[in-house]
Amino acid sequence: MLDAMWKRRSVRVFEDEALSVEDVKMIHELIEEAKNHKGPFGHQVDFFLKDGTKFDGQKMGTYGTVKHPQMIVGGFTEEEFDGFVDYGYLLEELILKITKLEVGSLWVEGHFDPSNLGVEDVEGKIVPALCPIGYPKGKELKKRQFHINPKKEQRKDMRELAFVGKKLKPMNESDLYHDHIRAVQIAPSGSNKQPWRFVVMNNEIHVFLERTKGYGASLPKDIQAIDIGIALRHLTFSLEEHKVFYEVMRKEAPVDLENTSYVCTVKIEK
Ligand SMILES: Cc1cc2nc3c(=O)[nH]c(=O)nc-3n(C[C@H](O)[C@H](O)[C@H](O)COP(=O)(O)O)c2cc1C
């Protein structure tokens, strides 16, 4: 999955060309599989795949328009923090698998009326975000040049994202788990706010949320909870790829990280 994480980027202009029958079949299979998966906080998502062509040129999310979306992937989940984290986790898992098929995607968050999407309302659940998909316009999804110039990719420096030990030393390349947190650095997030923070203590990676001031209030949904789920999936996929065993758990906040709230701990098995 690391290759898919490096390859993925937001695609806002798709080819005006339907997805191939084989790709649609594969995506349907991935969706059926994903419906059985659980996020780290135990939620499942009722995923769906719908026609996206009628949303051409429309503002689907809170900003920007999408050109020639071919299909829409989305799902229903509980409207609560943990439900949204699990939604981000499971939908990013699906998106990375779809990226492997050379199919491009975009996360969008906003007000979605299920009937506009051609899906039936599910009582007590909502659609937190959607992903229009299609073949990226013009060029292939190229491997990013991120490793050469992180600033070009407009990502926060690792020293702002991750800290080591009780004294919260900013993380550098030689620190344990640096490469796994790097896999989070390239993840998508609403308005690219990257609200995830990490504190590494021994064999534990503690995950925190630094909410962007004044950001959430104007939005219809808790977008930064979704971001945390996306971040967790990047982290756990990286661990899995390196055959590192882990468990996601909740405990007492192990340390006070300014302006953040504690979300969970990824405990690495030694
Ligand atoms: C939960 C979520 C919601 C997003 N909503 C929108 C949106 O409404 N409109 C949009 O154009 N991009 C949206 N994005 C895409 C982000 O702007 C994008 O991920 C970020 O700028 C980083 O760029 P990259 O995905 O190319 O790495 C969203 C991303 C996430 C994770």
In the reported structure, the alpha carbon of residue 226 is separated from the centroid of ligand 1 by a whole-number distance in angstroms of 11
The CB-side HSE value for 190 (13 A sphere, CA atoms) comes to 27
Q: What residues line ligand 1, using a CB cutoff of 6 Å?
A: 9-10, 12, 61-64, 106-109, 129, 188-192, 223, 226-227, 230
- The yes-or-no answer to whether 2-134 and 150-268 have a common fold is yes
What span, in angstroms and rounded, lies between the C-alpha atoms of 183 and 205?
Answer: 14
Question: Which residues are within 8 A (CB) of 265 and not within 5 positions of it... i.e. 6 or more apart?
Answer: 204, 205, 206, 207, 248, 249, 250, 251, 254
Predicted pLDDT at 141: 59
Token couple for 9: 């980027």
Of 129, 112, 134, the residue nearest 75 (C-alpha): 129
Predicted pLDDT at 145: 53
Predicted pLDDT at 223: 92
In the reported structure, the alpha carbon of residue 219 is separated from the centroid of ligand 1 by a whole-number distance in angstroms of 14
Tell me which of 106, 141, 152, 218 to substitute to probe ligand 1's pocket, judged by most ligand atoms within 8 Å of the beta carbon: 106
Token couple for 185: 């650095």
For residues 208 and 216, the answer to whether their CB atoms sit within 8 Å is no
Write the pLDDT tens digit of every residue in 6-43.
989 899 999 999 999 999 999 999 999 999 999 999 99
* One-letter identity of residue 188: P
In the reported structure, the alpha carbon of residue 194 is separated from the centroid of ligand 1 by a whole-number distance in angstroms of 10
Q: Residue 213, exposed/middle/buried by CB under 10 A (0-12, 13-18, 19+)?
A: exposed
In the reported structure, the alpha carbon of residue 63 is separated from the centroid of ligand 1 by a whole-number distance in angstroms of 9
In the reported structure, the alpha carbon of residue 109 is separated from the centroid of ligand 1 by a whole-number distance in angstroms of 8
Question: Helices 81-99 & 21-35, crossing angle to 10 degrees?
Answer: 150
User: Which of the residues in the chain have pLDDT under 50?
Assistant: none
Question: Which residues are within 8 A (CB) of 82 and not within 5 positions of it... i.e. 6 or more apart?
Answer: 39, 41, 42, 43
Write the pLDDT tens digit of every residue in 74-89.
999 999 999 999 999 9
CATH topology of domain 2-134: NADH Oxidase (3.40.109)
3-state helix, strand, coil in the chain (%, to 5): 35, 25, 45
Break the chain into its structural domains and give their ranges.
Answer: 2-134, 150-268
The sign one gets for the Cα dihedral 79, 44, 91, 183 is positive
CATH topology of domain 150-268: NADH Oxidase (3.40.109)
